[in-house]
């Protein structure tokens, strides 16, 4: 099997400071390290290393505000200023690249006073009370004010808001009265995601972070991914919180309130309760949610398994149409469709490729359809009384469940999408200490899932889950014969873009599950299934432009796209802060859960097979599954908000 990487980031060459002569340390040549002395401690670093990074290596903390590990350097807040020997003014340590030996002091009187004044000036334009703020006790400005002993507003404080709050988006709420002009949201949206919703408009004291001509978020090209929220240091940006509505449903005795939980929130929610990243609390969360008042707790991984069956079957149908029927209108490569931020991105920027999207709904929405049809019928519950709540890592899921076409059941399929942060807030409000909860299972009939559903949470997980199923359906051979422990390593990892080829040397008999669609697999014998994986819309853009140019990815059969870095585990609703190390820890937790499942392939999930036997009786990609689980049908049933 062949694995290739594409579209890797290329580091920028270090730039000498303005007016600074570049010299070599004694005995140094090209590529040699340079001596840096910080607070009397010495080390050698490569040319171009910032003072901030050098200080981290020495274990010396320098406070920051505009800096973020995921983003390019801005150097606009000046909170990280230090004294550099020989420099007349203080220097921003995040933006000062070392090109010659330097001696640095990080906490002199001059530095401390400068940082304090910067914080005081930021607070003078910051409206609101900390105790009534959604980021209380998790706000970087608040933490800096405490660290630098701010006990009064030296330069005054806003008594009235200057800006109108923006509630237009289902996903992202904006309050520019809390903005500190760090430009993290701008760099996130323009550089990190390459969407470009935000920009710093005007100049001097009139500077403001705006959308295009200051339109509401709902009226611009926002994809609802929430990555700006995850990097905002204050509460200027946050998810559109509907927890009060969920509490109202729980307190209403006429409502049957069910919760589905996705794998990424379960891998991250412990961070909201003081745990280090990488501690999944899947079964403790079941107990906690029942204590909070939910009637039933279901596993979104069940619907992820269902998605794999439907999506894998759709892929095989498209391949048959293209290879056997020679249908030139068949849209290949097929794109995954379970990331609503990615779907919104392609709708805005690459509409010509919409036919390439799988028609499958996301697991969240498939689950919504089944709960208000199959589950309601099976338990003799009026679907109008069911309140379906989805715990997701993603702010875009709030937008997705409010799309007008997501009412296949005749009702609004999913009523509310909660982020990981919002769920943690609800549990705290109920006096529940999640890590101390005992473990309990999910409820039937949607409590049985596989490892394939779990790995949906990490980039490459949808592709790996699909390949586990498609390889076995077509070859009749256990996927473990091709990949140790069914771990398809070539599609894993945090490289921005991955490419792999899976050769099909032999084929088996057509399984009963898809006999209604295929007679044999001989048409696939000797072929190689070419797949791609990317995460983050900046990399999605690279892949789509490569396809447009007739490049390598235009020859793919199937490509997984995720809007968020790292996949769902890096979603816009996950705990704050986020960083590459935190996302890696969450991924490790997800893959450890996958390994713990006795069944790790979607097509072997007995509960899925039962649904097809009892309810979706015309099989995967049949009429009923298309009506409920795909987006080809837009029912005109009653839509209840």
Structural domain boundaries in the chain:
33-107, 118-239, 308-363+452-629
Q: Which of 66, 568, 601, 621 is catalytic?
A: 568
pLDDT of residue 6: 39
Please report the sign of the dihedral spanned by the C-alpha atoms of residue 609, residue 611, residue 612, residue 613: positive
- How many angstroms separate the CA atoms of 97 and 22, rounded? 11
Question: Are residues 531 and 556 in contact, defined by beta-carbon separation less than 8 angstroms?
Answer: yes
Divide the 641 residues of the chain into consecutive groups of 10 and give the mean pLDDT of each group. 39 35 43 90 96 98 98 96 97 97 97 97 92 94 96 91 96 97 98 97 93 96 98 97 97 98 98 97 98 98 97 97 95 97 97 96 98 97 98 98 95 98 98 98 93 97 97 96 95 97 96 96 96 98 98 98 98 98 98 95 96 96 96 44 31
183: left (phi over 0), alpha (psi -120 to 50) or beta: left
- How many angstroms separate the CA atoms of 537 and 409, rounded? 31
Name 185's Cβ contacts closer than 8 Å, sequence gap at least 6.
198, 209, 228, 231, 232, 236, 237
Q: Which of 210, 310, 311, 495 is catalytic?
A: 311
- How many angstroms separate the CA atoms of 73 and 187, rounded? 9
For this structure, is 397 an active site residue? yes
For the structural domain made of 118-239, what CATH number should be given? 3.30.70.20
CB atoms under 10 Å from CB of 175, counted, come to: 21
Q: Which of 178, 344, 361, 397 is catalytic?
A: 397
DSSP 360: B
137-172 per-residue burial string, b: 16 or more CB within 10 A, e: under 16: ebbbbbebbeebebeeeeeeeeeeeebeebebbbbb
Name 331's Cβ contacts closer than 8 Å, sequence gap at least 6.
318, 355, 356
Q: To which H or E segment does residue 368 belong?
A: helix 363-370
- How many angstroms separate the CA atoms of 65 and 67, rounded? 5
Question: Are residues 432 and 291 in contact, defined by beta-carbon separation less than 8 angstroms?
Answer: yes
Nearest to 172 by CA among 419, 350, 465, 355: 419
Q: Which of 400, 422, 464, 472 is catalytic?
A: 400
Q: Which of 169, 264, 358, 452 is catalytic?
A: 358
Nearest to 85 by CA among 73, 96, 69, 72: 96
Which whole-number Å values give the CA distances from 436 to 94, 271, 294, 432, 593, in the listed order?
40, 14, 19, 8, 19
Pairing state between β 199-201 and 208-210: antiparallel
- How many angstroms separate the CA atoms of 580 and 574, rounded? 13
For the structural domain made of 33-107, what CATH number should be given? 3.10.20.740
Name 537's Cβ contacts closer than 8 Å, sequence gap at least 6.
193, 194, 195, 223, 225, 341, 342, 345, 563
Which residues, in sequence order, are bridge partners of residue 91? 82
Whole-model pTM: value is 0.92
In Å, how far from its chain's centre is CA 507?
Answer: 36
Q: To which H or E segment does residue 52 belong?
A: helix 51-57
Q: Which of 42, 147, 165, 405 is catalytic?
A: 405
For this structure, is 338 an active site residue? yes
Q: HSE of 537 in the Cβ direction (CA atoms, 13 Å)?
A: 29
Which residues, in sequence order, are bridge partners of residue 81? 92
pLDDT of residue 31: 54
Which residues, in sequence order, are bridge partners of residue 534? 497, 561
Q: What is residue 536's three-state secondary structure? A: coil
Where are the strands (E) in 39-193, listed by range?
A: 41-46, 81-84, 91-92, 102-105, 172-174
For this structure, is 405 an active site residue? yes
Q: HSE of 260 in the Cβ direction (CA atoms, 13 Å)?
A: 32
CATH architecture label of 308-363+452-629: 3-Layer(aba) Sandwich (3.40)
Helices 420-429 & 243-251 angle (0-180, nearest 10): 50
Q: Which of 310, 314, 464, 560 is catalytic?
A: 314
Q: Which of 272, 338, 401, 407 is catalytic?
A: 338
Question: Are residues 586 and 275 in contact, defined by beta-carbon separation less than 8 angstroms?
Answer: no
CB atoms under 10 Å from CB of 71, counted, come to: 18
Q: Which two tokens stand for residue 273?
A: 């309760």
Question: Are residues 145 and 155 in contact, defined by beta-carbon separation less than 8 angstroms?
Answer: no
Which whole-number Å values give the CA distances from 35 to 85, 89, 92, in the listed order?
14, 21, 19
pLDDT of residue 205: 87
For this structure, is 168 an active site residue? no
For this structure, is 11 an active site residue? no
């Amino acid at each position: 099997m062949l694995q290739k990487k594409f579209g890797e980031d290329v580091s920028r060459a270090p730039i000498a400071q303005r007016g600074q002569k570049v010299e070599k340390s004694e005995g140094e040549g090209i590529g040699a390290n340079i001596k840096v002395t910080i607070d009397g401690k010495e080390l050698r670093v490569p040319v171009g290393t910032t003072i901030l990074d050098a200080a981290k290596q020495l274990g010396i903390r320098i406070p920051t505000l505009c800096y973020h590990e995921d983003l390019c350097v801005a150097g606009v807040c000046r909170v990280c200023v230090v004294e550099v020997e020989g420099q007349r003014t203080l220097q921003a340590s995040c933006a000062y690249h070392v090109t010659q030996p330097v001696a640095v002091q990080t906490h002199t009187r001059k530095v401390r006073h400068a940082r304090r004044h910067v914080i005081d000036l930021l607070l003078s334009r910051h409206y609101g009370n900390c105790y009534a703020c959604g980021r209380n006790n998790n706000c970087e400005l608040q933490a800096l004010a405490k660290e630098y002993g701010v006990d009064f507003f030296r330069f005054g404080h806003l008594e009235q808001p200057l800006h109108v709050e923006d509630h237009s988006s289902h996903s992202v709420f904006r309050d520019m009265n809390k903005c500190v002009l760090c430009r993290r949201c701008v760099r996130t949206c323009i550089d990190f995601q390459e969407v470009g919703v935000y920009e710093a408009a005007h100049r001097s004291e009139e500077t403001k972070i705006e959308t295009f001509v200051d339109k509401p978020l709902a009226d611009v090209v926002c994809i609802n991914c929430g990555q700006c929220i995850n990097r905002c240091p204050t509460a200027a940006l946050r998810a559109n919180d509907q927890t009060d509505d969920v509490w109202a449903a729980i307190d209403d005795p006429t409502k049957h309130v069910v919760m589905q939980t996705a794998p990424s929130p379960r891998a991250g929610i412990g961070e909201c309760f003081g745990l280090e990243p990488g501690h999944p609390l899947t079964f403790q969360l079941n107990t906690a949610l029942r204590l909070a008042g939910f009637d039933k707790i279901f596993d979104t991984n069940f619907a992820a398994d269902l998605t794999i069956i439907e999506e894998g079957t759709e892929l095989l149908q498209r391949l048959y149409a293209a290879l056997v029927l020679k249908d030139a209108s068949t849209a290949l490569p097929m794109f995954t469709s379970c990331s609503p931020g990615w779907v919104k991105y392609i709708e805005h920027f690459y509409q010509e490729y919409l036919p390439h999207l799988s028609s499958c709904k996301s697991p969240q929405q498939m689950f919504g359809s089944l709960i208000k049809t199959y589950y309601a019928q099976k338990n003799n519950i009026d679907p109008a009384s069911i309140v379906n709540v989805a715990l997701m890592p993603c702010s875009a899921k709030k937008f997705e469940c409010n799309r007008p076409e997501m009412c296949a059941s005749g009702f609004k399929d999913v009523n509310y999408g909660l982020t990981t942060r919002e769920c943690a807030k609800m549990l705290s409000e109920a006096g529940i200490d999640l890590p101390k909860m005992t473990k309990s299972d999910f409820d039937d009939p949607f409590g049985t899932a596989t490892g394939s559903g779990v790995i949906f949470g990490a980039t490459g997980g949808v592709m790996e889950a699909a390949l586990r199923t498609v390889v076995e359906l077509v070859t009749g051979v256990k996927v473990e014969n091709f990949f140790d422990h069914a771990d398809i390593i070539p599609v894993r990892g945090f490289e921005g873009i991955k490419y792999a080829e899976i050769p099909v040397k032999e084929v088996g008999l057509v399984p009963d599950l898809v006999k209604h669609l295929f007679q044999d697999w001989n048409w696939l014998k000797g072929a190689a299934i070419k797949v791609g994986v990317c995460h983050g819309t900046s990399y999605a853009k690279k892949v789509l432009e490569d396809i447009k140019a007739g490049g390598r990815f235009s020859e793919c059969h199937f490509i997984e796209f995720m809007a968020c870095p790292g996949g769902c585990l890096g979603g816009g609703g996950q705990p704050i802060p986020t960083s590459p190390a935190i996302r890696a820890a969450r991924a490790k937790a997800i893959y450890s859960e996958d390994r713990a499942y006795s069944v790790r392939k979607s097509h072997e999930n007995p509960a899925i097979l039962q649904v097809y036997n009892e309810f979706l009786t015309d099989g995967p990609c049949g009429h009923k599954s298309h009506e409920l689980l795909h987006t080809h049908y837009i029912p005109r049933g009653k839509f209840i908000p």
